[in-house]
A and B are shown apart, each in its own frame.
Chain A
Amino acid sequence: MKIAIYIVIMTAIGFAHANEKWTQYYSIVNKDIAKIEALKSKDLSLQIRLFELYGEKLSLLLEKENEYKIKYLATGKSKKLNQVMSLQKNSLLKLEIIARNIERQTTKLSVLTKINYYRALNYYLVKDYKRFYTHIKKAEKTNKDSKLEYLINSKLADHHYNEGEFQRASFYYKKILGNKSNGWLTKIYYNLAWCELKQKRYSTALSSVKMAYSFEQKKGYFKVGEQLIDAILLFHAISRKTDEGLDYLSQQKISNFQNLIKYLHYVFENGNRSKISKIISSLDRLEKNSDQQLQLLEKKIVVYRPLKKFSLIQGEFQAFENRFPKIKLNKIKEETRSDLKNAIVSYTGYLQELVKSKRLISEKSKRKYVSYIASNFGIMKLIDPKSSMEYNYYEGETYFSLGDFSKASKVYVDGIKKYQQSDKKNKEYTAKTYESLFKAIEKQNKPDERLLLFSLQSYLKSFPRGLKSKLVHQRLVNFYQSKGETKKVLAALRSYNRNYPSDINLQRDYYKTLLNESIDKKDINSLNSLKNLIDKGFLKFPKEESAKIGLVITQLYFSKYDNLEKQGKNLEALKGFDSIYKDKKNDYKLRVEALRKKLFLLNKEKLLVELGDEIVSAAKFYNVKMKKTYGAELVIYAEGICSGDELLKCTQSASALIKDPKIKTSKALKNFYFKITSAQSGNYEEAYAMANSSAKKNYLFKIIVEESPNFRIPLFVKYYALPQYKSIIDAEIERKFLNSFYHTLSFKSFERFLIRTPFKKLKNSYELRISKIKNSISMSRFSFTKVPTAEKISAEQFGTFGGQFNLDLTKIINKINSGLVSIDPNFAPYYLSNVIKNFRIQSESFKKFAPASDDSQLESAMNDEMAKLHQFLDQKLLEYQQLYFESIKRTANLSGAKKYSRGIIDSPMKNDLEGLGLWQN
């Protein structure tokens, strides 16, 4: 930047300096002119001087004209230019006036010659060549000076040359050739050579140009430069002296690559094409850098192509391709690359045209050329990798044009793949390639699917929102759909939606197609995946959509499990329905149905434990409506459990159902529940509360009797309130009362039993009864009147004794009778036994008394009386015995009194016969 500024400044300074110098010089010239003009008379010398000054002025103005022209072109400001032009015009006019004046004033040829010469130069400067020629001819005519002659001739030679008057130009060039020390000889010979060439005088042209070259090699001579060599090459070519040219180049040691390549070009363009191979051979022999190799290749293409030496060209390509790894691309000039590229393109294009033509070449040739074309594009890609895409495209187009769409597709795809790996700048050809690729694919009946897929995918990668992207998105979705690759379809849809959210309805339609397919196939896994997507907001479906799918899924599951059931795979079906039921995300009604199915299958499989658990669950799970509708099922299942003897589960399930006010349970179930609860729980009060029928009460009664045969359970009190049970309880207690007494002849055992019974009133009545019985039994205790103890007793004593005895006996008998009347008939045998025993004892004791008296008659009479009493007592005893046996008969059935039917009761008969001890079946 600094350098640039420096240059600008320096240029400005230089320019300013130059400008200053011009101004200064112009001022001087003008002053001089003014001085001379100021003179009233001007002689010839002054005229000449004035002529010179005006000539200088004209030169200066011409110089300024250029400057102002540039400014004018840059700025559009023409004021100064116009001024300068005007001044030029004026100067020129002035020069002409002065020249005429001089011509009038003198006839000196030298002067006239100079004037005309300079006039010619001035006109030459202003490009008035007509006037130039006029005056230079005048000068020529009048000139005697050899130096001026040279100048005039050279001017005329150049003029004629420029005017294309080569013959005259040659004439004048030849005239000025004389002086061999002339430094301009190189140019003169050069120009002369051209003149000769133009006149088709090839030999002289060649000799002239060689002369020019030879002079150029010498010091002090004008250097024409490269043009001269070019001319040599061209002249040899045009003169068809190819070999001579090669030799000359070799001799002159200018047979380098640059010259040879030019020579090749000239020979090809102008010369003998048959000699091209020689030049090429020469070129081939040379050691070439990378750039030169490409240049040569290009030239070969250019040269061989019109000669239709295609195989040679292809051979060169092959060789080039082989050498390519050694070629340094970065050393190749852009121009060279471009030229070669163009050459190949052009050549390849030509081949394409040939191929396209129907009749120009045979099919075999066409095929050959097609391979050439493809190969050529390969070369192009090497040379110009940046444009690979383009070449690929054209290569593809080649195959496309031939109808080889498969090959074309592959080529296009290759191109795209490479493009994707590159810097991705050539979008134009990428788009074209894709366009052609899609067309090629469409043309094929069965396109390669991998290619098709690649084309769609890569297109979208490159042009997610390109012109065709929408369609490509759709095609990609369709592709995956045709393959049944659901995940990829969805991914494609997602991408499609991301780039074209406005097409959401169409995208949703695609999705729904997938959905319907999954439904048709009953593919539950797919449906689940699809549902999950929607739940995550895929394509912004409303929530209802998810719910619908959910419903379909569960229905499919249902049908799947139903089928399993039909196949007899109940356990599997069971698992399935269980999973539906347990999935809380499922619709409630569906879960209910699943549960119902589960219950049905559990029942079918007789998995009663599980069934019981599920019934309990169902009772909690079902709402009021479901309980109303399906409660009866649960009851039936529960009954089945109970019938199936699964007691624990029966109880649990029955309890759950019975306690639920919304479920109508059956009598049978309630019975089951009641019976198990009664038998097992120990909570008889609760059981009694449930015993709402006589059968249940009966059953419970049996239970509690079994539990407590001594009636100790408080519930017995409630049963006692019921007549039918009261009679049983009364009967049993009565039997116990009687049995225990006749077993032990004591109330102790029964009294112990009585303490622990819950029947207060009964207890009291028995206590009272026992008391009465005891009281009655106490009446069996009596004693006869004591007999007199004296050895001898008097009649009075006997009479008194007798009277007392009768009285006492009467009381005893009355007491006994009273006791007999009052005693409980079931205890009469015992009472009578006591009476008899006592009476017997008393009688025996009484009978031992034998009254003695001194009076034998009295003694006899007393003994007679005693005998009568004994008889009475015996009769009474007998009577009591009879009463005893009768009382046995009158005792209650099963009282146990009859055990003593053999004789009076004096000791307890405890030994009972055991039962057989056998249970019956």
Chain B
Amino acid sequence: MAKLVVFLILFIGCSNVAKKGQVSMSISMRDNLFAQQTLMERYKNINDEFFLGLSFDDCLLKWEEEVTSIKNQLRKVVDPKMRTYLWYRLGNCYHYVDSPKFSLYYYDLALSSNLLPSSKKSVVSYNFARAYSSKGLVVLAENFYRDALKEDPSNGLAAIELSLLYTNQGDYKQAMRLLRDVQARFKKSDFVRFLIGVNYFGLDDSNSLQSKVIPYLNDKSIGAKLLLLANDYLRRIKKKEDLLDRLGNIEAPLPPYRAFKDLLRVRIDRSLNDKKQI
């Protein structure tokens, strides 16, 4: 109990009021928030249909004020639905600053009320899954992504993340199935097509890559460039140096692109040295 009190006091002290009555953030929380803001902006800036639908939560923009406001509302609110919603919001907010325990606390309160709509339950499951995924708890992550999709089949992020999980496991077909569902809703999304292309690459399916993905990508998009290169790699039509050179010229700031670029580099570097191939 004493430890709890000390912890709470420290926590409250750390996250203490910048202005009177306002919840404030620690340095690490600010860093995490800033990183999330930057990432969000970058995704938005690629003008992909999939990301255009993403909205900036008020917590992302002004975390302290928003959290303070929510907490103040919590003091006063009586309506259980409203309270549930506020807990849900707090859970979201604390994820942005990488405070998973608090997120968990608030999400649990929100879920316990049984008043949270499915769409928001889906979000909660997604965020749980993401948290577990980041810790390497793949089984739990997969389960929660699936829960997110069960609650809200239109949860594109959950589908994407789950597909990535499968892709990383080499389960390209499962990944493709999920991506196809997402693509059905985001027909114009180059990003989704890119991920489909990544899976075709995983399957060494150059034909599909060439016929079903690349033609539909914006030539100038990062995804298109990467997949073209990947295709060239698969078809062995370019020399290693050329491929590596081209790869080096592709800027890929966003995680999936960056990771695929790295993967390509390794594969190109390795397999072109490997003379005997199946």
User: In residues 869-921 of chain A, which contact B (Cβ within 8 Å)?
Assistant: 881, 893-904, 906-907, 910-921
User: In residues 73-116 of chain B, which contact A (Cβ within 8 Å)?
Assistant: 74-76, 83, 90, 92, 95-96, 100-102, 104-105, 108-109, 112
- Is A539 in the interface zone, CB < 8 Å from B? no
Closest to A919 in B: B95
- Is B157 in the interface zone, CB < 8 Å from A? yes
Query: Which stretch of B126-134, B182-190, B206-214, B237-245 is in the interface?
Result: B126-134
Known pairs A894-B171, A913-B256, A913-B260; A703 contacts B104 (CB<8 A): yes
> DSSP majority for the A interface?
helix
| B136 partner, pick from A709, A902, A916, beta carbons under 8 A | A709
Whether the pair B270, A907 counts as a contact (CB closer than 8 A) is yes
Query: Which stretch of A277-285, A426-434, A644-652, A858-866 is in the interface?
Result: A644-652
Known pairs A679-B101, A702-B104, A705-B140; A651 contacts B5 (CB<8 A): yes
Interface residues on A, range: 35 or more
- Is B39 in the interface zone, CB < 8 Å from A? yes
Whether the pair B278, A904 counts as a contact (CB closer than 8 A) is yes
| B161 partner, pick from A671, A739, A881, A916, beta carbons under 8 A | A916
Q: Could you say which residues of chain A place their CB within 8 Å of the CB of B12?
A: 647-648
The digit string for B215-259, where 1 denotes a CB below 8 A from any CB of A, is 000000000000000000000000000000000000000111011
Whether the pair A695, B123 counts as a contact (CB closer than 8 A) is no
Interface residues on B, range: 35 or more
Central interface residue in A643, A683, A699, A919, by most chain B CB within 10 Å? A919
Q: Could you say which residues of chain A place their CB within 8 Å of the CB of B54?
A: 918
- Is A339 in the interface zone, CB < 8 Å from B? no
- Is B45 in the interface zone, CB < 8 Å from A? no
Whether the pair B1, A655 counts as a contact (CB closer than 8 A) is yes
CB distance from A265 to the nearest CB of B (A): 106
Central interface residue in A676, A681, A895, by most chain B CB within 10 Å? A681
Closest to A732 in B: B139
- Is B160 in the interface zone, CB < 8 Å from A? yes
User: In residues 32-47 of chain B, which contact A (Cβ within 8 Å)?
Assistant: 36, 39-40, 43
Q: Could you say which residues of chain B place their CB within 8 Å of the CB of A682?
A: 3, 7
User: In residues 145-168 of chain B, which contact A (Cβ within 8 Å)?
Assistant: 155, 157-158, 160-161, 164-165, 167-168
Whether the pair B102, A913 counts as a contact (CB closer than 8 A) is no
* C-alpha gap A359/B164 in the complex (Å): 136
Whether the pair B95, A911 counts as a contact (CB closer than 8 A) is no
Whether the pair A671, B8 counts as a contact (CB closer than 8 A) is no
- Is A223 in the interface zone, CB < 8 Å from B? no
Chain B interface (Cβ < 8 Å from any Cβ of A): 1, 3-5, 7-9, 11-12, 36, 39-40, 43, 54-55, 57, 59-60, 71, 74-76, 83, 90, 92, 95-96, 100-102, 104-105, 108-109, 112, 123, 126-128, 130-140, 142, 155, 157-158, 160-161, 164-165, 167-172, 198, 202-204, 254-256, 258-260, 262-263, 266, 270, 274, 277-278
Can you give 22 A-B contacts (C-beta < 8 A)?
A: A608-B75, A647-B12, A652-B5, A676-B4, A682-B3, A682-B7, A695-B112, A703-B104, A709-B136, A709-B137, A732-B140, A894-B139, A900-B170, A902-B202, A906-B274, A910-B266, A915-B134, A915-B165, A917-B255, A920-B92, A920-B127, A921-B59
17 other contacts beyond A695-B112, A702-B108, A902-B204, with CB at 8 A cut-off? Answer: A606-B75, A644-B71, A644-B74, A645-B74, A675-B105, A680-B8, A680-B11, A703-B104, A705-B132, A706-B131, A732-B137, A894-B138, A913-B260, A915-B161, A919-B36, A920-B92, A920-B126
Chain A interface (Cβ < 8 Å from any Cβ of B): 606, 608, 643-648, 651-652, 655, 671, 675-677, 679-683, 695, 699, 702-703, 705-707, 709, 728, 731-732, 735-736, 739, 881, 893-904, 906-907, 910-921
